[in-house]
Amino acid sequence: MVEWMSKTYAKDFSFQELMVAAASRELKDHEVVFVGIGIPQLGALLAQRTHAPNLTLIYESGVVGTRPERLPLSIGDPTLVSGTYGIFNFYETFSMLLQRGFIDVGFVGGAQVDKFGNINSTVIGDYEKPKVRLPGSGGGCEIAGLSKRIVIVTPHEKRRMVDKVDFVTSPGFLNGAEARERNGLSGGPSAVITTMGVLRFDEETKEMYLASYHPGLSVDQVKQNTGWDLKISPKVGETEPPTVEEVNILREDLDPQGIFLKKAVT
Amino acid sequence: MAAQVMTTKEAVQKFVRDGQLVCFGGFTHGIPFAIGHEMIRQRKKHLAVCKETPDLIVDQLLAAGCIDRLMFSWAGNPGVGSLHAFRRAVEQQVPNAVAIEEYTHFITGARYLAGASGLPFMPVTASVFASDLAKHSDVFKTIDCPFTGKKICLVKAINPDVAIIHGQRADREGNTQMWGIVGSNREIAMASERVIVSVEEIVDSEIVRRDPNRTVIPGFHVDAVIEEPWGAHPSYSQGYYDRDNQYYIDYEVTTRTRETHDKFLNEWVFSVSDRKEYLKHLGAERMVSLKTKSYYSTPVDYGYFG
């Protein structure tokens, strides 16, 4: 663990920054990633600027292999085009890249996430009479259904981390256990990275559990901010903090104006 | 028949009728704002609109009461937040009730491709049936694949009455070229009965013919071609100008109530008679700040085989 030992950890960082750093560590070099805008995107861009320089980043606008110099403000930002190696049209992006099975990781956010990793980005409340109307699936439904694995990045609040989502926009493990496979889907969520911890899924029940809590927090605090009786890994410990380098890249290079880091994901 | 060169006002008068199904092109890039604003000014009514990402332009058509039915897959202010007129229409039926039909991006793309291919449907993987979306739509259904026996999803074609597209350049015959993010522009245009195209510049046919790979829509299927510089502002046009992100951010705040949204429409749509006046209102300083530094591709050699 020489590499671990040689890291210089940041002492001053926000939970948002830790969330992004923890998300970036879910990505391995040379993987093909379908990237959602906002906080998930920051995680992928941070990975590309640190341990995974050969990531292929794909945005739903059809941009393939991008290395944006400035922070893309939307999934179709022109900075994604400058220096990218390919652009697919809309249908091809979903059919030939995603449906065909080339996406290793779907990197997504969501307004509500439930204990089986299902994501709601459609409505809060009843579909016909919504309390809050959210933007809808976009690429989310198929990214979650057809990527080899999914990493979900979301702020940790009781109203977001719920027992059961109001609407399944993007399928996780559905009702748990074998439900996802019964619906003809492989893959599924591998991690949920929040502002309070890193959560993973039980291999058999497919229920989410707490794998690590962020430094400065306790297991009880995480449980209190979760909408169901959250199970805790027997090996639970503190999340690895961000390094000085990671925090510097986030603050000085990726999001100097705090456009995504200072705002909650919607 | 080749396209006719005309103004935005003439094109909307001639080809967009109340009650029609209208499809807007553009995906964050090249949203046809100039044509959309003219539709609002001409107070088009009872439209059905399909746009995978309605963006601010469809939100403005909703605020102005032009739309009765909306088909979409992601209705937000891209990178910023909510579309408030969309939310008012869905949550409170203000200014009018709007029937919504929502898909995923992939399903919307499949609807366009089926329509553009002259087919009744396009088969896609059935993964959408793991979500709750299938409960609220009748444009995708499953059947057993006749070859594998596995469940497969069939997505119903869409064939709009009118396609509204903004490209970078076209010749006077309407052969339309784009580069950067092209989205569904070709599929939308080829699926539609009528096609209205605005471009940053109308160029000599020789320029188009020297670079045919960049053509997205053939002129024989374009009805109106309009030279409308900055026709996609506040979205962007690759190589011409950047997205006016401040406009998108301000829009989030200034359109939160119906009253402030109406004021917004008065300022940016009704108080100007066309795009030239709109740009005068926008101001030279802001336009200069959105201009892009040139970054040319290397010309390719097609070879001459004459």
ipTM: 0.96
* SS3 of residue A130 by DSSP: strand
* pLDDT tens digits, A199-251: 999 999 999 999 999 999 999 999 999 999 999 999 999 999 999 999 999 99
Mean predicted confidence (pLDDT) in B175-201: 98
Q: What single string gives the DSSP state of each residue in chain B?
A: ---EE--HHHHHHHH--TT-EEEE--BSBS--HHHHHHHHHTT--SEEEE-SS-HHHHHHHHHTT-EEEEEES--EETTTEE-HHHHHHHHH--SS--EEEE--HHHHHHHHHHHHTT-SEEEE-GGGGGSSGGGG-SSEEEEE-TTT--EEEEEE----SEEEEEEEEE-TT--EE--S--TTHHHHHHHSSEEEEEEEEE--HHHHHT-GGGEEE-GGG-SEEEE-TTTTTTSBBTTTB---HHHHHHHHHHTSSHHHHHHHHIIIIIT-SSHHHHHHHH-HHHHHHHBPPP-PPPPP------
The partner residue sitting opposite B238, judged by closest CB among A74, A81, A145, is A81
Q: Is B116 contained in some domain? A: no
pLDDT exceeds cutoff 90 at A80: yes
Binary contact (A89, B182; C-beta < 8 A): yes
Shared domain check, B31 and B80: yes
Q: Is B299 contained in some domain? A: no
Residues of A in contact with B129 (CB under 8 A): 183
Binary contact (B79, A77; C-beta < 8 A): yes
Shared domain check, B97 and B125: no
Q: What is the pLDDT of residue A266?
A: 37
Q: Amino acid letter at A187?
A: G
Residue B141 structural domain: 121-156
Q: Is B71 contained in some domain? A: yes
* pLDDT tens digits, B23-62: 999 999 999 999 999 999 999 999 999 999 999 999 999 9
Cα–Cα distances (Å) from B143 to A176, A224, B121, B158, in that order, read 26, 45, 12, 19
Distance CA A234, CA A210 (A): 9
Q: Is B173 contained in some domain? A: yes
- Which residue from A minimizes the CA distance to B111? A91
Residues of B in contact with A82 (CB under 8 A): 295
Q: What is the pLDDT of residue B217?
A: 98
Q: Is B108 contained in some domain? A: no
Q: What is the pLDDT of residue B277?
A: 98
Shared domain check, B184 and B81: yes
Which domains, and CATH codes, for chain A?
A: 2-254 (3.40.1080.10)
Segment among A257-261, B154-158, B184-188, B267-271 with least mean pLDDT: A257-261
Residues of B in contact with A183 (CB under 8 A): 129-130
Q: What is the pLDDT of residue B76?
A: 95
| pLDDT band with cut points at 50, 70 and 90 for residue A262 | confident
Shared domain check, B268 and B180: yes
Query: What is the tally of structural domains in chain B?
Result: 2
The enclosing H or E element of A49 equals helix A39-49
Q: Å from B245 to nearest chain A CA?
A: 8
Shared domain check, B68 and B22: yes
Residues of B in contact with A132 (CB under 8 A): 87, 91
Shared domain check, B184 and B134: no
From A26, A31, A60, A142, active-site residue: A60
Shared domain check, B180 and B61: yes
Mean predicted confidence (pLDDT) in B131-137: 94
Shared domain check, B63 and B44: yes
| pLDDT band with cut points at 50, 70 and 90 for residue A264 | very low
Q: Is B111 contained in some domain? A: no
Shared domain check, B215 and B166: yes
- Which residue from A minimizes the CA distance to B108? A91
Contact B215, B177 (CB under 8 A): yes
Q: Is B54 contained in some domain? A: yes
**A60 in active site:** yes
Exposed, middle or buried: residue B137 (CB in 10 Å: 0-12, 13-18, 19+)? middle
- Which residue from B minimizes the CA distance to A140? B104
pTM score above 0.90:
yes
| pLDDT band with cut points at 50, 70 and 90 for residue A36 | confident
Shared domain check, B144 and B165: no
Shared domain check, B193 and B51: yes
CATH number, domain with residue B165: 3.40.1080.10
Binary contact (B113, A91; C-beta < 8 A): yes
Shared domain check, B127 and B88: no
Q: Is B296 contained in some domain? A: no
* pLDDT tens digits, B72-90: 999 999 988 899 999 999 9
Q: What is the pLDDT of residue A265?
A: 40
Contact B179, B134 (CB under 8 A): no
